[in-house]
Amino acid sequence: MTSAAPTTATATAAAGPGLVTGRGGLSAAVVEALRHGGPPQYAPGAVLKADPWGEDLQLALYLLYELHYRGFAGVDDEREWDPDLLRLRQALEARFLHALRTGVSGTPTSVEETFAPLLVEPLDLSGSLSHRLATRGELWQLREYAALRSLYHLKEADPHVWVIPRLTGRAKAAMAAIEYDEFGAGHPDRIHARLFGALMSDLGLDPAYGRYLDQAPAPLLATVNLMSLFGLHRALRGALVGHFACLEVTSSPGSRRLATAMRRCGAGPAAQHFYTEHVEADAVHEHVVRHDVIGGLLTDEPHLEPDIAFGCAATLLLEDRLTDHLHTAWEQGHSALRTPLPAA
């Protein structure tokens, strides 16, 4: 006898990645709630006591945000809008957002002052992660870097799409044009997330979506959570534009160095192609996002200028924290992941 076809919700949930083990009371509560149903159970005051940069809070946020992307295998799609999970997410977001605003206090609030330093290649690149990988990185470090970045690059551009309905006129048209390129300009094989999957295969990594969540430390999770935080809140639309602009402005030089790193370490052609593609594409995107997306948004809503500056500053803050984490681990000769990768 043929079994009944699964419901749409069940089929969709089964397509997502598997849940991981919690890293503290809050993330364990989220995992338990998603795995067995019911509201998350955590100690009173746990959110206020949690380290906003720590493993527990960042993983809990990541798990809750992922419900708005592909969800998790075996988790009902209806949990995306579960009021108890949303209530916890709101509390975690408030803690994270406060830490971000505190961390960037004293930085410029104008777009010109914020982006001017990013438009000039610094003379001293010693602190640059891409420079390190290009000049003295080893293959195992490139593999770790790719595994970590896969948590974003396999959903590349997805969080930024959320801002399009919140824009109008020139800003909306320009943002849609950039996103069209990110999603392959009509060609599935050119979708940037698919190109990154090919890069991972070249490096002997598993290109499955969300595969390396369990290995990713908090500094990496925070960089992905930032995009989801900005993307899911209309009130933070200016910050999301600032974040997106910061990525595009800094992408081309960094991608050029990473392409060099891939060639130097003998990575395959797909690994090199991902970054050479970004050198060309993001050089064009950088001009469009500054002049048309930001320019159009400021024409329509000039009061959002401090938010755009905040989005850029918060991005740089979290990228610096991740860079410090990787530099420290690699200088000490050990893995920057929570558990090392198996050999290629």
List, in order of start, the domains of the chain with CATH numbers: 8-103 (no CATH), 111-331 (1.20.910.10)
Is the pLDDT at 250 greater than 70? The verdict is yes
157: nearest Cα among 179, 173, 140: 179
For residues 90-103, average pLDDT: 98
pLDDT value of position 12: 46
pLDDT tier for residue 21 given thresholds of 50, 70 and 90: very high
For residues 118-145, average pLDDT: 90
226: nearest Cα among 324, 91, 306, 319: 319
Q: What is the CA radius of gyration of the chain?
A: 20
CA angle 325, 45, 225 (to 5 degrees): 35
Angle between the 139-153 and 218-231 helix axes, to the nearest 10 degrees? 20
- Quote the mean pLDDT of the chain: 93
Which pairs from 277-282 meet CB under 8 Å and 24+ separation? Answer: 277/192, 277/195, 278/192, 278/251, 278/252, 279/252, 279/255, 281/181, 282/248, 282/251, 282/252, 282/255
The share of the chain scoring above pLDDT 90, in percent, equals: 88
pLDDT value of position 123: 67
For residues 168-194, average pLDDT: 95
pLDDT value of position 2: 36
pLDDT value of position 8: 46
pLDDT value of position 126: 79
pLDDT tier for residue 175 given thresholds of 50, 70 and 90: very high
pLDDT value of position 5: 41
For residues 223-241, average pLDDT: 98
pLDDT value of position 108: 95
pLDDT value of position 10: 46
Residue 318 CA from chain centroid, whole number: 11
The identity of residue 245, as a single letter, is A
Is the pLDDT at 9 greater than 60? The verdict is no
> What are 302's two structure tokens?
């000039």
Question: According to DSSP H, which parts of 72-209 are helical?
Answer: 83-103, 111-115, 129-136, 139-153, 158-161, 169-182, 192-202
pLDDT tier for residue 202 given thresholds of 50, 70 and 90: very high
pLDDT value of position 82: 98
For residues 57-85, average pLDDT: 97
pLDDT value of position 204: 96
Is the pLDDT at 31 greater than 70? The verdict is yes
pLDDT value of position 14: 53
Is the pLDDT at 146 greater than 70? The verdict is yes
pTM: 0.93
pLDDT tier for residue 283 given thresholds of 50, 70 and 90: confident
The identity of residue 158, as a single letter, is D
pLDDT tier for residue 127 given thresholds of 50, 70 and 90: confident
3-state helix, strand, coil in the chain (%, to 5): 70, 0, 30
The identity of residue 343, as a single letter, is A
pLDDT value of position 343: 84
Contact call for residues 178 and 293 (beta carbons, < 8 A): yes
